[in-house]
Structure 1
Amino acid sequence: MRIPLSGPDITEREIELVNEVLRSRWLSMGPKVKEFEEKMAAYVGRRFAVAVNSGTSGLHLLVRSLGIGEGDEVITTPFSFVASANCILYERARPVFVDIDPLTLNIDVDRIEEKITERTRAILPVHVFGQPVDMERVREIAQKHGLAVIEDACEAIGAEYRGRKAGAQGDGAVFAFYPNKQMTTGEGGVIVTDDEEIAKLCRSMRNQGRGEDGAWLCHERLGFNYRMDELSAALGIAQLERIEELLAKREKVARMYNERLREIEGVKVPYVAPEVNRMSWFVYVIRLEEGIDRDKVMEYLTAHGVGSRPYFTPIHLQPFYVEQFGYKEGDFPVTERVAKSTIALPFYNNLTEEQVDYVVKTLERALATF
């Protein structure tokens, strides 16, 4: 049996809306993007949404729209996809890392204030693997110190913490829709905010710095080609129509894994905080007990047709960050210890019970071998 790590969930409805675009005169900068934006804003409960070509682009535009620049600092987590730190570097600001909570794997909110300096301009929490950060506490810290909050909700569409949706509390938030996400637009992302000025700036900057009237060769500010195309927006509209179904399917697969893995010695299933009303399962990441050779286990899984990945490699130990900032092992011990033990197992909407059984049995054999 060959089981890939991920796979999108596409139906005839997605094909119908994409074909509708192909039959129209609009392939870019048309009505589907606007419709997708309106529906995303309504879903999250924000006033404005700005569709872009990736979550990375969305994070960059939020950093820039808040006036963060050279010499500034933004507090974030070293346990994330590298884009959540790179977006700060794009504006010549510096990411300042805070170690993570060993259970939720999110930024340790209790340690944020230790890293605030006179250069700090914002906090950028990441809802890792679809589990929301305690945003009420992040907002309290930010308000106390006069800081902005950029919510990286790229992995957390639909997640809820104490009754509030992920993406609903930062000055701005970003969702991403790569094919392995809960919903997909192929490539793409969306910025959401209640701040009209942030929304206007992001719309302009995603479109080469053009003004609100969109005049073709009139550029009011430095901008980028970060636009979402109509085909991606059409796919997003169809996926958003099905979002409850998509999230429920992933919840079902996570539950199957939890039931089968809880009793396996040496394996820790994902922890979900009691304050989380709804986990939005992006990936299913287990942790192995200390002393188990994670890489050997992954090699065994691969040899037997089971896709797997280490999630995440710490950002501060990526070669570029080591070279630029001199980070070393031991700087963020919780992140490093967790990162050495994690394995993302195959996880997608239509994973069958038979496939889950095969993954679990293969993992059991791997653990017995090593």
Structure 2
Amino acid sequence: MSEIPLSQPDITDAEIEAVTSVLRSGRLSIGPRQDLFEQLVAERAGRQHGIAVSSGTAGLHLAMLALGVGPGDEVITTPFSFIASANCILMAGAVPVFVDIDPQSMNLDPARLEAAITPKTKAIIAVEVFGNPRHMEKIEQIAQQHEIPLVEDACEGMGGICHGRPVGNFGRVSVFGFYPNKQVTTGEGGMIVTDDSRLAEACRSLRNQGRPSGNYQSHGTLNRGGVWLEHESLGYNYRLSEIAAGLGIAQMNRLDEMLDARRRVAGMYMRRLMDWDDLVIPTVEPNCEGDMSWFVYVVRLNSSYGKTERDRIITGMRRHEVGASNYFPCIHLQPFYRQQHGFKKGDYPIAESISERTIALPFFNKMDETQVELVCHTLKVMIQREQLLKR
């Protein structure tokens, strides 16, 4: 059998036709497909506005700027996430304040949140780690009580539902990401969604070099009488191309089908791994279980194992052509954060302990029973080898 990759985009003839249709149209940027893609994502999240951007990272950065986050401000977030959820705070000139995680959900622990709030707290970025929206309602309540804007980092949770609310519907503003390993991909891309009209207008301007927000015609003039080379503020080239938007529309039209496929693969893993004493498998809040949007399938070794054993297991799986990875290294222990901000091991012990024992297994829509069985068999052999080494 050939190598089983860690992830793989689900591209069909519908996506290929959508992209070639854009190329035939001659309109490659700032056009009708962007508008439709924004509408589809906003509707799925139960939001009034969608603002397409070049990446989830770009979306988080613009959310910070639109909320007025800047030098001297603090923004609370999790140390257990992809680094972009903290980097966007630094990009705005503010200071990230980490809060340790809940060991079951691996999301920011709401029980620890209030102690981190200070008069300098300008916003909270809560990440739905691996697509799990657990605790988001509670975090939203705390943010509202303290009148602090909540930014929902929904980059890993497209299509999920919890307590009857879609992922992307929590807080003042939410951000999706569309990298190739996500539930929906545009190659590279992201989407800001919000009900706040002024925030949406600010993000539309900021993504487009600070030009006045509006619908641009192909010759570069504003429908409302402005000019293409008029810039109201310092902005960025964070636009999403029509090619990417066309791909995104085709993917959104298949979203439910793809979510079902991912739940099927997660179920295959769960049935095979649930009785392994050496592993802790993902848990989902009962109210969210049937509507979970699986981004990846991450297990972790029990507390009798450490980073050394975990790394050897991952290396062994890769040697046998089974993709595996260490999702996620703690953000505060990344070299840049250690050197520039003085973080050290022991600052967030729960996140650190979990981070040292996680293993992301191959996970993509078209995985079959044979592939899942091979992944689980290889994982078991690698774990048994570690048990022998302990003796």
| TM-score class normalised by the smaller sequence | over 0.9
C-alpha distance in 2, partners of 1:173/1:69?
19
Percent of aligned pairs sharing the same letter: 53
Q: Specify which of 231, 245, 253 is matched with residue 233 of structure 1.
A: 245
1:136: Cα distance to partner? 2.5
The answer for the alignment partner of 2:259 in structure 1 is 247
1:352: Cα distance to partner? 1.1
The answer for the alignment partner of 1:279 in structure 2 is 292
The answer for the alignment partner of 2:69 in structure 1 is 68
The answer for the alignment partner of 1:351 in structure 2 is 367
C-alpha distance in 2, partners of 1:119/1:208?
29
C-alpha distance in 1, partners of 2:9/2:178?
10
The answer for the alignment partner of 1:102 in structure 2 is 103
Q: Specify which of 291, 309, 321 is matched with residue 325 of structure 2.
A: 309
C-alpha distance in 1, partners of 2:59/2:137?
23
* Per-residue CA distance 1:128-152 (angstroms, 9 max, x = gap): 0000042322222112212111110
- Secondary structure in 2 aligned to 1:275? helix
1:268: Cα distance to partner? 1.5
The answer for the alignment partner of 1:211 in structure 2 is 212
C-alpha distance in 1, partners of 2:213/2:328?
39
1:170: Cα distance to partner? 1.4
C-alpha distance in 2, partners of 1:30/1:113?
44
1:38: Cα distance to partner? 1.0
1:264: Cα distance to partner? 2.5
1:43: Cα distance to partner? 1.3
C-alpha distance in 1, partners of 2:45/2:117?
29
1:98: Cα distance to partner? 0.3
C-alpha distance in 2, partners of 1:358/1:246?
22
Query: Is 1:321 paired with 2:321?
Result: no
Query: Is 1:160 paired with 2:172?
Result: no
C-alpha distance in 1, partners of 2:183/2:325?
18
* Per-residue CA distance 1:326-364 (angstroms, 9 max, x = gap): 111110000000001100000000011100010011111
Query: Is 1:288 paired with 2:301?
Result: yes
Matches within 5 A, 1:1-370: 1=1, 2-213=3-214, 214=222, 215-277=227-289, 278-292=291-305, 293-370=309-386
1:275: Cα distance to partner? 3.1
Unmatched 5+ stretches in structure 2: 215-221, 387-391
Given the two structures, how large is their TM-score scaled by the length of structure 1? 0.98
C-alpha distance in 1, partners of 2:83/2:37?
27
Contact 1:107 1:133 survives alignment (8 Å): no
* Per-residue CA distance 1:280-306 (angstroms, 9 max, x = gap): 100000011123310111111011010
Q: Which amino acid aligns with 1:314?
A: C
C-alpha distance in 2, partners of 1:257/1:120?
40
C-alpha distance in 1, partners of 2:294/2:25?
35
1:265: Cα distance to partner? 3.2
- Secondary structure in 2 aligned to 1:9? coil
Given the two structures, how large is their TM-score scaled by the length of structure 2? 0.93
C-alpha distance in 2, partners of 1:324/1:54?
25
* Per-residue CA distance 1:70-129 (angstroms, 9 max, x = gap): 000011000000000000101110110000000000000111000011100111100000
- Secondary structure in 1 aligned to 2:260? helix
Q: Which amino acid aligns with 2:164?
A: G
Contact 2:44 2:166 survives alignment (8 Å): no
